[in-house]
């Protein structure tokens, strides 16, 4: 498409298909895809493994000092794996035990400062698609294209259930629903960078769109933005 690389910020509730879209876009445009949620999940995994008390400020700061996160492209998955202190923790960060704790960890101010700083560095050269909860509002407020994704709750529950069932045998739909509702509530109501649509984000409800239709729609938006940049309409 265009040689003018932009930043694409995708935000929305859990299990709206943000990562699927982000990954497709990155592949199509030759951009980097960064899953910012993976960073909060990896931090949560570290906290769980080291029994960090999240209400203990000193313990949280000390733990963050000992955490190094990096992304390494995995050819097989066609997306980057997240490394926690040089260990590929991709296989562990989607477990329910992490999912149950991650919203609380992501609500901690110091954790957000730590993650956001790294995310902003990754976007310095543009040509990046990042998904999360605060990408268009806090991480890249000047992103050229911002998308806010939603889907009907039942659609989201079934998507997450299908994703989790393979690696979490015995998990029930009700457990998945409860976890999603709780995370949405915490993510939207926390004091630090709550999930909200940026004023200039485009709303995308994909309840009734398949992946191809969705990609086609968003590629049109990318084309519009890139054309505007070439024409000098966007700062």
Which of 5, 133, 146, 156 forms a contact with ligand DC (CB under 6 A)? 133
Tell me how long the chain is.
235
79 near ligand DC (CB under 6 A): no
| Residue 118 vs 228, nearer CB to ligand DC | 118
Angstrom distances, CA of residue 16 to CA of 125, 154, 158, 170, 172: 27, 11, 11, 23, 19
Q: Name residues contacting ligand DC, limited to 89-118 (CB under 6 A).
A: 102-103, 106
| Residue 135 vs 204, nearer CB to ligand DC | 135
134 near ligand DC (CB under 6 A): yes
User: Dihedral of the CA atoms 25, 31, 37, 43 (nearest 10)?
Assistant: 160
Which of 16, 24, 29, 40 forms a contact with ligand DC (CB under 6 A)? 40
| Least gap, CB of 143 to ligand DC (angstroms) | 13
**Contact (CB, 8 A) for 2 and 29:** no
| Residue 37 vs 226, nearer CB to ligand DC | 37
| Least gap, CB of 163 to ligand DC (angstroms) | 10
Distance CA(131)–CA(112), nearest Å, equals: 15
| Least gap, CB of 231 to ligand DC (angstroms) | 31
Angstrom distances, CA of residue 137 to CA of 12, 57, 72, 144, 190: 12, 26, 26, 12, 14
123 near ligand DC (CB under 6 A): no
Q: What single string gives the DSSP state of each residue in 175-223?
A: HHHHHHHHHHHHHHH-SSS-----TTPEEEE-TT--HHHHHHHHHHHHH
User: Dihedral of the CA atoms 41, 204, 126, 34 (nearest 10)?
Assistant: 20
| Residue 184 vs 205, nearer CB to ligand DC | 184
Which of 24, 32, 36, 179 forms a contact with ligand DC (CB under 6 A)? 36
* 167 to 206: interface string for ligand DC, x by CB under 6 A: ----------------x---x-------------------
156 near ligand DC (CB under 6 A): no
Distance CA(158)–CA(171), nearest Å, equals: 12
| Least gap, CB of 27 to ligand DC (angstroms) | 19
Distance CA(133)–CA(130), nearest Å, equals: 10
Residues lying near ligand DC in the complex (CB under 6 A) are found at 14, 36-37, 40-41, 102-103, 106, 132-135, 183, 187
């Amino acid at each position: 498409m265009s040689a003018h690389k932009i930043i694409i910020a995708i935000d929305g509730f859990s299990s709206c298909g943000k990562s699927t879209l982000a990954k497709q876009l990155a592949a199509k445009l030759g951009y980097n895809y960064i899953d910012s949620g993976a960073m909060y999940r990896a931090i949560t995994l570290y906290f769980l493994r080291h029994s960090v008390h999240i209400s203990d400020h000193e313990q949280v700061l000390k733990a963050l000092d000992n955490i190094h996160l990096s992304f390494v492209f995995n050819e097989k998955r066609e997306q980057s794996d997240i490394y926690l202190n040089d260990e590929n923790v991709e296989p562990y960060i989607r477990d329910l035990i992490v999912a149950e704790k991650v919203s609380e960890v992501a609500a901690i101010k110091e954790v957000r400062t730590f993650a956001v700083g790294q995310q902003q560095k990754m976007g310095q050269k543009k040509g990046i698609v990042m998904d999360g909860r605060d990408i268009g509002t806090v991480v890249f407020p000047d992103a050229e294209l911002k998308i806010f994704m939603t889907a009907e709750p039942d659609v989201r529950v079934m998507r997450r259930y299908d994703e989790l069932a393979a690696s979490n045998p015995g998990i029930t739909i009700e457990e998945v629903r409860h976890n999603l509702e709780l995370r949405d509530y915490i993510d939207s109501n926390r004091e630090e960078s709550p999930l909200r649509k940026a004023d200039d984000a485009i709303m995308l409800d994909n309840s009734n769109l398949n992946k191809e239709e969705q990609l086609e729609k968003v590629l049109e938006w990318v084309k519009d933005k890139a054309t505007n940049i070439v024409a000098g309409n966007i700062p």
